[in-house]
Amino acid sequence: MSKEEGEPTSRLMDLGLKELMNLLIEMGRLSEQTVSSAIEAYIGGKDEVENIKRMSEELRTLEDEVSDLSTDIIAKYQPMASDLRFTKSCVEISYGFSRLGRYAYDIAETIQSLGDVSNCDHDLVLKTAELAKKMISMSVQALLSRDTELASSIPALDDEVDRNYRMFMKNLSSDVHISAKCAASTALVLKYLERIADHASYIGDSIVYVATGNHKPRK
CB atoms within 10 A of CB 12: 16
**How large a percentage of the chain has pLDDT more than 70?**
95
**151 and 200 in contact (C-beta within 8 Å)?**
no
Rounded to whole angstroms, the Cα distance separating 199 from 36 reads: 16
- The yes-or-no verdict on residue 54 having pLDDT over 90 is yes
Mean pLDDT of the chain: 91
pLDDT for the residue numbered 113: 87
pLDDT for the residue numbered 3: 47
Torsion angle of C-alpha atoms 34, 44, 48, 126, degrees rounded to 10: 30
**pLDDT tens digit string along 56-107?**
999 999 999 999 999 999 999 999 988 999 999 999 999 999 999 999 999 9
- For the whole model, what pTM was predicted? 0.90
pLDDT for the residue numbered 11: 85
**pLDDT tens digit string along 5-21?**
445 778 889 999 999 99
pLDDT for the residue numbered 187: 96
pLDDT for the residue numbered 73: 95
Three-class SS state of 35: helix
Q: Spell out the domains of the chain, with CATH numbers in brackets.
A: 3-212 (1.20.58.220)
Lowest mean pLDDT of 31-35, 178-182, 189-193, name the range: 178-182
pLDDT for the residue numbered 20: 96
pLDDT for the residue numbered 118: 84
**pLDDT tens digit string along 200-212?**
999 999 999 998 8
pLDDT for the residue numbered 133: 95
pLDDT for the residue numbered 142: 94
**99 and 199 in contact (C-beta within 8 Å)?**
yes
